[in-house]
Structure 1
Amino acid sequence: MHTLLVTLLVIVSIALIACVLLQSGKSAGLSGAISGGAEQLFGKQKARGLDLILHRATVVLSILFFGITLLISYAGL
């Protein structure tokens, strides 16, 4: 059981890293911070297409990562 969980954790970790690296970057620097605040204030539309899919996949994979990590630590006791 422990080996299965560790193997699953490695697969989820690699998938999470890939999802994060495939996402488009935010604007950097002071101009990015100002425009980012303005976008939040004026309610720019949410990301669509591939960015939305990658965002949702990142959320799901991060929840799986923490869940499996807690299971491994619990099973190790």
Structure 2
Amino acid sequence: MHTVLLSLLVIDAIALIIVVLLQSGKSAGLSGAISGGAETLFGKQKARGIDLVLHRITVVLAVLFFVLAIAVSYFGL
């Protein structure tokens, strides 16, 4: 059981890295980071198309990563 969970955790981690690297950057530099956060907060710029799909996949993979990490820790004892 531990080996299967650990294998799934490694596969999930690699997939999470790939999906994050495929996403496009919002803006460059410090001023871009501040304005990008404001646009996200106030909803001026909505994610569309592939960016939305990659964002949702990232959220699912991140949640799965945490669940698998806790399961590996629990069954590894």
* TM-score in same-fold range (> 0.5): yes
> Highest Rg: 1 or 2?
1
1:19 aligns with 2:19: yes
> Which residue number corresponds to residue 8 of structure 2?
8
> Which residue number corresponds to residue 53 of structure 1?
53
Distance 1:29 1:70 in 2: 35
Q: TM (normalized to structure 2)?
A: 0.86
Off by >6 Å, runs of 4+ in structure 1: none
Q: Residue type of the partner of 1:47?
A: A
Distance 1:30 1:65 in 2: 29
How many angstroms does 1:38 deviate by? 4.7
Count of aligned pairs between the two proteins: 77
Distance 1:47 1:15 in 2: 21
Specify every segment of 5 or more residues in structure 2 that has no aligned partner in the other structure, as ranges: none
